[in-house]
Structure 1
Amino acid sequence: MPSDQNRIPFRVRPMLATLVQKPFHKPGWIYEEKYDGYRILAYKEGDRVTLVSRNGNDRTATYASVVRAIRQLRAHKLLLDGEVVAFDSHGISRFQLLQVGSTATAYAVFDCVYSSGRDLRYEPLEIRRAAAESAVDKVEGLMMSRRLADNGLEAYKIAKKKGYEGLVAKDLSSPYIEGRSSKWLKVKVHQEEELVIGGFTEPEGSRRYFGALLLGAHDGGKLRYVGKVGTGFSEDTLASLYRKFRPLVQSKPPFVDPPRERNVTYLRPKLIAQISFQEWTADRKLRQPVFLGLRDDKRPEEVRLPAKGTV
């Protein structure tokens, strides 16, 4: 624990963006790249740096290179908000690279909530962003989130052309609002979702461990089946997942509308998968899903099915 003198006097839950279906432009808003990584709050309290995930888990030991980079910053006390990311050879953030332990990780900073004795939660984003830019020196492993364009529609075109996951639009006049907010809005270019794993099918042919994962999302407090994914797995991933599944096996399906599948093993809905896919069908099922990895920075209850008429 840092000393009382060094300790930031509060802890926060991250401000979260609300998904919207179409790009837009509003005066007084900024448009940033949406990264495909892990959301992290970084507390610098003297020489001590603590990294906290969006659901409050300590990730300090997981991203040691980010800790070392933040420790180099001049500010004695600092609370930054951002995303730990890994980039491919084209400069695109890829969640899969974090899953395989890529050493080329960076911390993309997009907000500053506390800086050298100043509580910035109630200041507008314009001031917080300036504080973040001032705090983040040219230290290897740290970067400011990239603004795409002044116009939201142009920003979306750039995100689509470059192959980014999407964009996040932010109201420059907004304070830091913990939890989901309409002052930050995200627009996706590529379809990815976090979905709950509710079971798996038996393997076929030469494949080992399991065939496909059964996926679901919550709708009105009930877990609904949205499809199965059988691609995106290496042999090591199949084995690792199977080990995680074994203590979660249960006899009853966790879905209110289980699929008509034979030879299914059901699981307690505790694990969350990151899935890319082509689109949602009209009946809210996945089309052409691919497994990207597991997420541990979100509770299963937070995984929500898109409302009818929005897909």
Structure 2
Amino acid sequence: MTKPPRSKPLLRDIDAPIRSQPQRKRNPAQPQLLFDPMPDRVEPALAKVKQRPPRGDQWGWEAKWDGYRLAVHAEPQGVRILTRGGHDWTHRFPDIAEAARALGPATMIIDGEAVVLDAEGRSDFGLLQKSLGASGNKAGNRASNAMLYAFDLLYLDGHDLRGVEYGSRRRLLEDLLNGQDGAIQISEELDADPDVLLEHARRFGLEGIVGKDRDQPYRSGRTGDWVKIKCVESEAFFIVGYEPSTALTGGFASLVLAAYRGDELVHVGNVGTGFKEAGTASLRKMLDKLAWKRKQPPVEPGDAGGKVIWVQPTLIAEIEFRAWTADGKLRHASYKGLRERQDNAVVFRLD
């Protein structure tokens, strides 16, 4: 008869310490993390456009910055700067990357907006584009004078903060950036009635204001947790043609713009102001390389002009405007600069 196996004593040595089970192996690339793995990328939270500010003490208000949305991933082994569309632009923002390294050995994801400021201290999208260059595909185009206005903290030292309410994330970010005056700075909360803030934003020529619900977690997409109230409208449109200039050789009088209606492009007006003389010639050269070869233009001509040179709908322009006309055209349009597909530039949809 086989003897039953002897049971093991609960404690082999009554004086020996009790040891816990070994933890699962940690990622060697993140040696100090004890809890949550660091996400490779987080889809950004986006602000819904509102005509008037919502009411309630839970809303915190900031200036609306006019630049590129970025996520800064800082780890002991390096820094990555990702665009809204998930492209790595670390090489294009060297000062921001260096400032992230200087924050110390902490592992973090900072959400913010890269801007270049004008002489009055306002963010200027045109200056940012000039600093970056016309194309995002050239490795040499760097915005060495850009800075990041940080407004959220998504991850810190092993803790995924997306499930934490915004008010707490905000306090952690303020502690992290306390005293920083370099290329990464806090986007200040403005302690005033939002209607008063909006009036000041109009007076100083700012884009508008952004409100964030302090009680909500970080949720990707346009959930309504974040809202924006604009002083002026600003959207992205395809350039589908241009009117040659009669006064400036190699220039143009206006650009012809288009937006989507369903799957088709439709003409939404022309823009003839906002151009910087230094960039007009280079933009004209880019447009000439995109000359439209087909008989039928890319959009119904309508009132686009009699001498339009049509081009392939490839370049995307950021256009500031005041309103829409009754027949679906932009009113008081002004050119701000080219947007880049790598920044997840979304062409405006009329529907």
Question: Is TM > 0.5 for Structure 1 vs Structure 2?
Answer: yes
Shift of 1:26: 2.6
Counterpart pick for 1:51 among 81, 89, 93: 81
Specify the code of the residue in structure 2 equivalent to 1:138. Answer: G
Given that residues 109 and 155 in structure 2 are in contact (C-alpha distance below 8 angstroms), is that contact kept between their aligned partners in structure 1?
yes
Alignment of 1:264 with 2:301, yes or no, is: no
Specify the code of the residue in structure 2 equivalent to 1:285. Answer: K
Q: What stretches of structure 2 of length at least 5 have no aligned partner?
A: 1-26, 32-36, 132-142
Given that residues 46 and 76 in structure 1 are in contact (C-alpha distance below 8 angstroms), is that contact kept between their aligned partners in structure 2?
yes
Shift of 1:117: 0.5
**Percent identity between the aligned chains?**
34
Over 3 Å counting, the alpha-carbon distance change for 1:174 and 1:218 in structure 2 is farther
Q: Secondary structure at the match of 2:89?
A: coil
Shift of 1:214: 0.9
- Further displaced range: 175-184 or 7-16: 7-16
Number of residue pairs matched by the alignment: 305
Q: Secondary structure at the match of 1:205?
A: coil
Cα distance in 2 for partners of 1:208, 1:112 equals: 47
Cα distance in 1 for partners of 2:302, 2:75 equals: 49
Structure 1 segment 226-305 matched on structure 2, within 5 A: 226-250=268-292, 251=294, 252-255=296-299, 258-296=302-340, 297-299=342-344, 302-305=346-349
Deviations 1:135-193 (A, max 9, x none): 22433122111222343223323322333210011111222111222111110013332
Q: Secondary structure at the match of 1:40?
A: strand
Given that residues 126 and 173 in structure 1 are in contact (C-alpha distance below 8 angstroms), is that contact kept between their aligned partners in structure 2?
yes
Over 3 Å counting, the alpha-carbon distance change for 1:162 and 1:119 in structure 2 is same
Alignment of 1:99 with 2:129, yes or no, is: yes
TM-score by length of 1: 0.88
Shift of 1:35: 0.5
Cα distance in 2 for partners of 1:287, 1:74 equals: 49
Shift of 1:216: 1.8
TM-score by length of 2: 0.79
Cα distance in 2 for partners of 1:148, 1:256 equals: 46
Structure 1 segment 1-311 matched on structure 2, within 5 A: 4-5=29-30, 8-101=38-131, 104-139=145-180, 140-250=182-292, 251=294, 252-255=296-299, 258-296=302-340, 297-299=342-344, 302-305=346-349
Given that residues 222 and 256 in structure 1 are in contact (C-alpha distance below 8 angstroms), is that contact kept between their aligned partners in structure 2?
no
Cα distance in 2 for partners of 1:224, 1:199 equals: 12
Shift of 1:77: 0.9
Given that residues 47 and 71 in structure 1 are in contact (C-alpha distance below 8 angstroms), is that contact kept between their aligned partners in structure 2?
no
Partner of 2:4: none
Return the index of the structure with the highest Cα Rg. 2
Higher percent of residues as strand: 1
Over 3 Å counting, the alpha-carbon distance change for 1:113 and 1:220 in structure 2 is same
TM-align CA RMSD = 2.4
Cα distance in 2 for partners of 1:62, 1:96 equals: 16
Given that residues 214 and 228 in structure 1 are in contact (C-alpha distance below 8 angstroms), is that contact kept between their aligned partners in structure 2?
yes
Over 3 Å counting, the alpha-carbon distance change for 1:87 and 1:235 in structure 2 is closer
